[in-house]
Every structure is written in structure tokens, then in C-alpha cells.
Amino acid sequence: MQAALQPFHDAHASGQAWRVAYTLSPVPPHDDPGRLYDFYRASNEHQVEGDIRYALKYSQTSKLPPKESGAWTDIFVIYWRAVGEILRAEEASNQGRMNDGQWINVYDAWKEVANAIIKYISNGALPPWTVMCMYSVGNHLRLFAMKADTQLAQVEPSVTFSTGLQDDVVTGVAKNNKLEEAARVFNKMFALCLGDRNPDINESRKWGVYCMANLLFKTYFKLKAISLSKNVVKSIEAQVDLPMFDLYPQSHKITYRYYVGILAFLQEDYANAEQHLTEAWDHCFPESTKNQELILTYLIPCRLITKHNIPSPALLAAFPHLQNIFGPLVTCIKSGDLSGFDNALLASEPEFVKRRIYLTLERGRDIALRNLLRRVFLAAGFEELKEGQAAKDRMRKTRLPIEHFATALRMGTRGEGSGQVLDDDEVECLLANMIYKGLMKGYISRDHGMVVLNKKGAFPGTGV
């Protein structure tokens, strides 16, 4: 057991919280794939507590205070039992003989590890920096909870389980008993960090606030408990003694901004959502392509609404999945192809509904309509030059018959019959809505059957 716990001694001596957390991981490191087996086989159920206590308390390399040594002893004993459950489940899975409760046993055993760490951080037996260990253990508990729920779903025919993204906003899971149970554990962890009253900020558990908030976000979004996610944000915003946000680790800040941005997005507060998602995008690590794709999934619709911007071909080309779902929409918006836009929206409807961006993207039809009407404006050409005017003084025609716009709407951009069948009143209504929304500037003269556009800035955001 001495040798098996040497990585812990080395990590603890270094004072690096994440190195200590790795020694409590249910996943062996790449450079030592047999660590879990070595640790579990270093003792047995009857002797494990004594072996671990001796290795932690009486080892020549151990410098742990008695109180902290006792806490780590208890934690590692529980961790040893959890490792046993993990190894049994993995062996059974590799041999194709999984039974109905093995991942449930793993989850239950790992929850005991999480509760032990909460207990000893709460009573002061462990130093404040061990909140990073608590977060790591909690994150693995979330994964084990989902595996356990998958196994429960296979046992209970009435329950369906989603095979979608684990951390996404939506899920097809009808019942998540273990994940809901895990959420209550994470709430204790979050409260433990948020409620720390240590006046020495360097020794405060508040440094774990954002990583624990992110863990709650991932869990609540999986459970479709969006309102509970809002409560997490409110709890943090109510705190006046948190360290400055910029001082937290980059990964904590990026993930927090991402989820807060999505919460604003779901409340249709697109300006606030864009701000948070843009900050997450600007600081996201270049190698984290999956995270970048998740951010863009919501940032693209945000900017379509707030700035009427569409993503560049180069940006979409870097993300094939986004190119597949957004590319056709972008092409139709640029060309003003309304029927093509409707077809592209329909083709990817399941994906858009799953991500909860369908209704937002549907508003992009107004941008496609603006671009179609702008084509009519450009096709009308220029006013005739008056005497003494040069070519540089040419002005575009700004008085256009409503019938021109009606024809464009009926024909679309791909020829006769590719657009919509609209009567004159409907065309006027569409034009009036575009003016009301600020996508076209001017007014309608019904008496003359004309649209009178502004001489400058007739279609804001397009340069004409």
C-alpha cells in the first residue's frame, strides 16, 4: 500500500490541488494504466483500513497532520471499495456479462467518496484547496449517475434514455433517478464553497464556486431543470465577497459564461446572451473544438437576431456539423431565397428543436426577406441624371411600385413559382412589418401603390 499511495504523497507535497485530485480518479492516468489494479490489489477488505492508515500516518514520506491524516485515511478506504466496484463493472463489461446493477453499485460506492470529502472539508479536517478534489469526484459522480440511469432504463421498459450529448441543453431522458440524487450532492458542494466565511481569501473555499456552479449547470440542463440553473446564477450574483471573476481559472470562466449565455438565450434576452457567449468564444481554447462548436450553436442565432450577421463560409468550414445544419440557411438568407430558407429550416428541424434554437432561427426569415426586397431595390436602377450632374451624383430610385415587390415575393429567387402565393394586402402587410422592424426604412403610399424608401440607408446593415 505504501507504493500505491506514493503518487498521493508526491502530489500532496507539491501543493497542487489537481495532482491530488488525480490520485482519487476512477480513471487511471495514461502513463500508469494499471494504477487502479495496483491500488486495489495492495490490500483486502479486512486489512485495508490499517494498511492505508499506516501508509498515510507512519510513512517516512508522509507529512500530514494527524487530523488531516485521519480524514484521508477514511476517504481512501471508501475510495478503495469504490475502485473495487469499478474494476468489477469494467471486467464484466469487457467480457459481455453485465448484470442489471453493476453501474448502480459503482454509483452508490462513488457517492460515498463524494460524501466523505464533503464531510471532511465541512468540518475543517481538509484544507480549503481540496475543493478541487471535491469537484473532480463530483464530476465523475455525474458520469456514473448517467451510466446507472442507463442501466435502470434498460430494466424499466417505460423509461427511455437519450444517446445525445451528455452536457447539452436538452435530453430525451424521461427519468433520471440517480442523476437527480447526484444533483442534491452537488448542491451541498456548491453551498459549501459559496458559504465559506474565511476572511483570508487565499484560504477560502470560494475559489471552487464557479467550477461547482458549472457542475450544477451540466446536471440541471441534463435534467431539464432550467429554473434551478437560474437559482445558481442568482446565488452567485447575490454574493459581495467573491474574488474578482478574472482571477478564476480560465476553464471555469469559459464554462460559466457559456451556460449563463444559454440561460439568457432561452429567456430571449439575446443581447445579454450574445455578450456572454462572445466572451466564452473569445477565450475558448483553440484545441477545444467541441466546446467551440457548442458555443457557436447558440452564438450564431444570437448574432442573427441582434446584429443580423451570418457566419462566414470560413468559420462554418471549420465545423462540419455546423456547416451541415447552418450552411443551407446561410446561403438562403444571403440570396433572399424564402422558399429555400423554409426548406432548409424544415430539413434540420429535429436538430434545431433539440437545441432549442428553432424559433430563434425562424426569425432569420426576416433577414432573408430583407435581402429579397433589397434585390428589387437594386434591380430598379438609378434615377436619370439631371442637367449638370455627374455619374458620381447618381441616386437610386426610391419610389418603387408595390407590384414589383409582390412579383419578387411570388417568383422568389429561383424563378416562377418558387416563392409564395400572396395577395396584394398580404404583400403590403409584409412590407409594413419590415418597415416597423427597422429592416427597411421608408413608408407605403397606398393611394399611389408605391413604396417610398429613404434615399440613404433604405436597408440598414446592407450598405444601401
Q: What is the pLDDT along the chain (464 residues), one digit of tens a residue?
A: 888 888 888 888 888 888 999 999 999 888 888 889 989 998 888 899 998 988 887 766 667 888 988 999 999 999 999 999 999 888 887 776 666 678 899 999 999 999 999 999 999 999 999 999 999 999 999 999 999 998 888 766 543 434 444 455 554 444 789 999 999 999 999 999 999 888 888 889 999 999 999 999 999 999 988 889 999 999 999 998 899 999 999 999 999 999 999 999 999 999 999 999 999 999 999 899 999 999 999 999 999 999 888 999 999 999 999 999 999 999 999 988 898 999 999 999 999 999 999 999 999 999 999 999 999 999 988 878 777 667 677 788 889 999 998 888 888 777 655 667 788 888 899 999 999 988 899 999 988 889 999 988 888 877 66
Angle at 221 between CA 219 and CA 224, to 5 degrees: 115
In angstroms, rounded to a whole number, what is the distance separating the alpha carbons of residues 346 and 357?
13
Residue 67: CA atoms inside 13 Å, Cβ hemisphere, count?
A: 7
Identify the helix (H) or strand (E) that includes residue 442. Answer: strand 442-445
Candidates 1.10.10.10, 3.30.540.10, 1.10.1040.10, 3.40.50.970; correct CATH number of 375-453? 1.10.10.10
Domain ranges of the chain: 6-237, 375-453
Which amino acid type is present at position 38? D
In angstroms, rounded to a whole number, what is the distance separating the alpha carbons of residues 337 and 412?
6
Whether residue 132 contacts residue 248, with contact meaning beta carbons closer than 8 Å, is answered with: no
In angstroms, rounded to a whole number, what is the distance separating the alpha carbons of residues 350 and 294?
17
Q: How far is CA 165 from CA 172, 255, 349, in A?
A: 10, 16, 17
Cβ burial of 123 (10 Å; 0-12, 13-18, 19+) is: exposed
Which amino acid type is present at position 447? D
In angstroms, rounded to a whole number, what is the distance separating the alpha carbons of residues 445 and 454?
13
Helix (H, G, I), strand (E, B) or coil at 451: strand
pLDDT reported for residue 418: 63
pLDDT reported for residue 351: 92
- pTM of the shown model: 0.86
Whether residue 292 contacts residue 281, with contact meaning beta carbons closer than 8 Å, is answered with: yes
Longest dimension (CA), the chain: 106
Cell of 299: 452564438
Give every CB contact of residue 131 below 8 A, 6+ residues apart in sequence: 17, 121, 189, 192, 193, 205, 207, 208, 211, 212
pLDDT reported for residue 257: 96
Which amino acid type is present at position 107? Y
> In which residue are the cell numbers 415575393 written?
409
